A and B are shown apart, each in its own frame.
Chain A
């Protein structure tokens, strides 16, 4: 467990002046317009932005699937621009192999992420027990509910040896109640194993509830409009939703998004 004192000791992710355009000549469209942000070690950072603001592209660039037109990506103090395998990832859909059991899925991903088979197996077993999913270890994904699948998917990302986790709208496909439960569940697990997290979400509440810092993006071409430090103590509870400061921040971010979206449309 990393302690809180070391949070700012090292940056896990640095995105430096990333630009990315698609298409050629007249049809050329800039999606990322010189984007810079960072995630410190053990820090939970959220990105919110109007839809179509290039968040998916940003994740692809960080993950090395897309080469940026300009700028650099640094992960754990090394330049990794265009390189794969430096992050762990949780997509919106759980993306579990239907022919592998729950445990098999986690083990396979850990092996791909660079853990040796034995360690992967041990770690999977230990953590499935820890989060109370050991009964489902041998079940196939189609036997699980949407919320369960996302728990497995999150665990799979959490156990990977990479320090940085990218969460791509992990609860976007869940119903409202499951979503709230999952946020609290995620918080409690993350508290036990603090990794650096970069979360993309459409929900301002979700970002406020989970994050240390929120980065608001403009519509495309995306740039950072503003950053908010979220001042609430951890561990956080549902009581937060009625906190006046919580609602004030929510309003501020909402206004910002609205204005940013308008500008781009004009």
Chain B
């Protein structure tokens, strides 16, 4: 009970603000301050969404698939890369700057190249999401792997731990906390980059649907897609937070009695 109460206490202020904003939006459109073809009212968006619900869900399914594949791929690549950079001497200093460089190439520029090389299938899109997702995970993991408590490291070295055991027993578990902060960032990135990937040569997915709707002067459909995208992003983020709580149970969080 105590947890629920405090959860509710935390949740209601932002929800009230959100409800207030939606009400203002609705009022602005209803009383003619904003043109309907430019910005439809929230109620109109919801009505339109209900009408085209099955089609909307089809597109959502495609986007979810792309997001999850890309996110999983990005997480795996990010994780393995961080471990390699950490474990192979000299690798980190040689490769890390290049990784940072890779992040400065805009994805809008990478996308056509991937399409050119790999065609219009699922693969280039998944790759695009992966490219965007791996980086925050690698960076977070690396800082976790190299920062365990010096006392712990010294203790385990004194009792004769090997390099691999040190990695599995100390560095990796310590990096898990950091890993989750990387996963959270990547989760948000993955949905957004999936949307961008769908702008390129496909007619499936919320990204494509959004583009077609706006171009076809059906902004209510476009905004319906935006609502779903936001929900997806929040859901994925929430799932990561939940997973974090389950995995890192040992942490000295506030004791609930």
Contact = CB atoms under 8 A, between A and B. Distances in A.
Contacts of A95: 149, 151-152, 154-156
A60 B173 CA distance: 26
B250 interface: yes
A88 B159 contact: yes
Interface in A171-185: none
Interface in B230-252: 248, 250-252
A231 interface: no
B158 A91 contact: yes
A113 B173 CA distance: 20
Contacts of B176: 99
B55 interface: no
Contacts of A99: 173, 176, 248, 250
Nearest to B153: A95
Given A63-B157, A65-B157, A84-B157, A91 B173 contact: no
Please classify the interface of chain B as helix (H, G, I), strand (E, B), loop, or mixed, using the class held by over half of its residues: helix
B165 A91 contact: no
Interface in B157-202: 157-161, 165, 169-170, 173, 176
Nearest to B177: A99
A112 B158 contact: no
Given A98-B250, A99-B250, A142-B252, A89 B158 contact: yes
Interface string A185-206: 0000000000000000000000
B160 A113 contact: yes
A85 interface: yes
Interface in A127-182: 140, 142-143, 160, 166
Contacts of B160: 63-64, 84-87, 112-113
Contacts of A84: 157-160
Interface in B117-167: 149, 151-152, 154-161, 165
Given A97-B173, A140-B250, A109 B154 contact: no
Contacts of A230: none
A88 to B, nearest CB: 6
B88 to A, nearest CB: 22
Interface in A64-84: 64-65, 84
Contacts of B159: 84-85, 87-89, 109, 112-113, 160
A201 B173 CA distance: 32
A93 interface: yes
Nearest to A168: B158
Interface string A95-116: 1011110000000110011000
Nearest to B149: A95
Contacts of A108: 169
A91 B250 contact: no
A166 B161 CA distance: 16
A229 B160 CA distance: 32
Contacts of A143: 252
Nearest to B165: A112
Contacts of A142: 252
Contacts of A166: 158
Given A97-B173, A98-B250, A91 B157 contact: no
A112 B161 contact: yes
B198 to A, nearest CB: 40
A116 to B, nearest CB: 15
Nearest to A93: B151
A167 to B, nearest CB: 11
A240 B159 CA distance: 34
A113 B252 CA distance: 28
B175 to A, nearest CB: 11
Given A84-B160, A97-B170, A112-B165, A91 B155 contact: yes
